[in-house]
Structure formats: C-alpha cells, structure tokens
A and B are shown apart, each in its own frame.
Chain A
Amino acid sequence: MTEKEVIEIANVALAEEFELEMEQMVPEARFNDDLGLDSLDAVDMVVVLEQAFGFKLRDNQALREIRTLDDLHKYILRKKSELEG
C-alpha cells in the first residue's frame, strides 16, 4: 500500500463515517475547528480507521497529539511501517 493509498483510504473512511465532504479533507484541516469532530468522534475515528486498515491504532499518548488530518496520515504511516518493520 503506497502513501497515497493510505491517505485515500483514511480520508474516504472518515468522510463516509462522519458525513464530511471530500473537499474538506485537506492535510491542514483541524479535527475540531475545521471538521467539527468532538472528543467522542475521536474515539470512533480510531475504530473506523482500524476497521479500514485492519491493524490496531490505539496509542493514547500519540493520538492526543494529533490535531490535523496531516498529523493523522503521518501517524497511520508510522504505525504501518512499524508493523512491516
């Protein structure tokens, strides 16, 4: 899976689950201010992405530091390379 595919899968999964427009899914989009996702959504987001990618993403400390879509993409790519590592 390429970096581009990872980003595409993540964006599509989130847009579908949280009823967001694909135009909103830009790297600099902030979860709270730009996408309107709340703290409960953050928990759901992890579950939705785990289902989309088929691996665990739970790491509370790292997740707390995610602010933008770009942060999330980088986090998923890091997790993926750790697993492949």
Chain B
Amino acid sequence: MEFLRPFGRVRKEGLQKERVPTPCVFVANHLSFFDVYCMGTLPVTNFSIVVRAWPFKMWFYAPFMRAAKYLNSEQLDQEEFMAQCRDVFDRGGSVLFFPEGHRSRDGELGRFYSGAFKVALDNDVPVVPLAISGTDKLLPRGQWVMRPAEVVVEGLEPVYPRQFMHEDVPHLAMRKYVKQAIAAARKRR
C-alpha cells in the first residue's frame, strides 16, 4: 500500500481487530485494480482472495498469487471450489470475494454473484462487508496517469448466516442484505 501514499491517503474505518470475527467471508465492492492493495488495511493477514482465471495468466503476479493461496473461481468446479474454501476456514483463514466479478465501469455497484454468500452459509461463518470508495479516482478508466484521491475502506457490521436461515433461499436473501449495506455505506460518502 506504500506506493499509493504519494497519491492520497488510504483511510480505514471499522476495521479494528476486535470488530472483525474470524474466520469470515470478506465481501467488497470492486472499483479498481488498486482495491486488492487496499486489502492491506484489513486487521488480518490470513485470507485467500477469490479471483477469476485471467489474473493467473500474468506471469509476474501468478507465482505470488499461488503462494498466497488465491482461489481461482473459474478453473475449479463448484464442488472443488467449496472444498477449497472449507479448507481455508479449517486452517483458521478467511476468504475474500469481490462479488461483482469485475470492476465497476461507472463507479456504481454492479450485480452481486451469489458464491460468497453460499460459502458463508455452507460453512456457517459471518460475512464482513467492505465498502471501498475512491480507488476509481486514482486511475480512472482509460487514463494512464494516477491522480490524487482519498480512498476509504470501511468495514461494516458482520452479517451472520443465522439471520437468513428462515428465508426460502438464504444465500439470495443474504446477498441482497449485504449489497444494500454496502450501497448505503457508499452513499454516506
């Protein structure tokens, strides 16, 4: 995160260690390439990031991603993917998702895929929503020069699976709830 310092401040809110239950599923909105670096603000270091297949094709990143046990959501079938997440939790780690699957094109929240919430419910671990703002201003789409921006990573109240067990499709209900929480937090900015 140090290399972002000349371009602005990265502020974290609500991310004190005692406020973040572990293991958990972190769920963050996705605005920019820099969002991954902002995960350095989390109060834990033992977590695996879920990414699509293409970043594993970047030769300069791939070895680090494998060493850090990133999970490839496109290469594994659903059962294998769930097993790998379970393995991370069994070892005391957490899993981080960007449930939009790609960066926002207009700064607005996109559709959330359900995987993160299914993982949380199947493993009975809480979701910790993360509302990121400002990273899209650092390097706007189509620009090559970084600009100053204030970046905020806000950890929201953990959301527990038990809150949704009475719903017809618990992971869909949880997905909607978490998305609303992130949208509301971003609106306050």
Chain A residues with a Cβ under 8 A of chain B: 17-20, 36, 38-41, 44, 47-48, 51
Say whether A36 contacts B111, CB under 8 Å: yes
Q: Does residue B4 face the partner (Cβ distance < 8 Å to A)?
A: no
- Mind listing 27 A-B residue pairs with CB under 8 Å? A17-B172, A18-B111, A19-B111, A19-B112, A20-B111, A36-B101, A36-B111, A38-B113, A38-B115, A39-B77, A39-B78, A40-B78, A40-B113, A40-B114, A40-B115, A41-B113, A41-B114, A44-B114, A44-B169, A44-B171, A44-B172, A47-B168, A47-B169, A47-B172, A48-B169, A48-B172, A51-B168
Question: Given A19-B112, A20-B111, list of 18 further CB < 8 A pairs?
Answer: A36-B101, A36-B111, A38-B115, A39-B77, A39-B78, A40-B78, A40-B113, A40-B114, A40-B115, A40-B118, A41-B113, A44-B114, A44-B169, A44-B172, A47-B168, A47-B172, A48-B169, A51-B168
Among residues of B, the one whose C-beta sits closest to the C-beta of A38 is B113
What is the distance, in angstroms, from A6's C-beta to the closest C-beta of chain B? 21
Q: Beta-carbon contacts of B152-175 to A below 8 Å, as 1s and 0s?
A: 000000000000000011011000
Main secondary structure on chain A at its contact with chain B?
A: helix
Closest A residue to B168 by beta carbon equals A51
How far, in angstroms, from A20 to B114 measured CA to CA in the complex? 15
The size bracket of the interface on B is 10 to 19
| CB closest residue in chain A, given B176 | A17
4 closest pairs, A vs B, by CB?
A19-B111, A47-B169, A40-B114, A40-B115
Give every chain B residue within 8 A of A48 (Cβ-Cβ). 169, 172
Closest to A17 in B: B172
Minimum distance in angstroms from A68 CB to a CB of chain B: 19
Rounded to whole angstroms, the CA-CA distance of A18 and B172 in the bound complex is 10
Complex CA–CA separation, A41 to B115 (angstroms): 9
Least CB distance, B98 to chain A, in whole angstroms? 14
Q: Give the docked Cα–Cα distance between A47 and B172 (Å).
A: 10
Contacts of A41 in B (CB 8 A): 113-114
In the bound complex, residues from chain A placing their C-beta under 8 Å from that of B101 are: 36
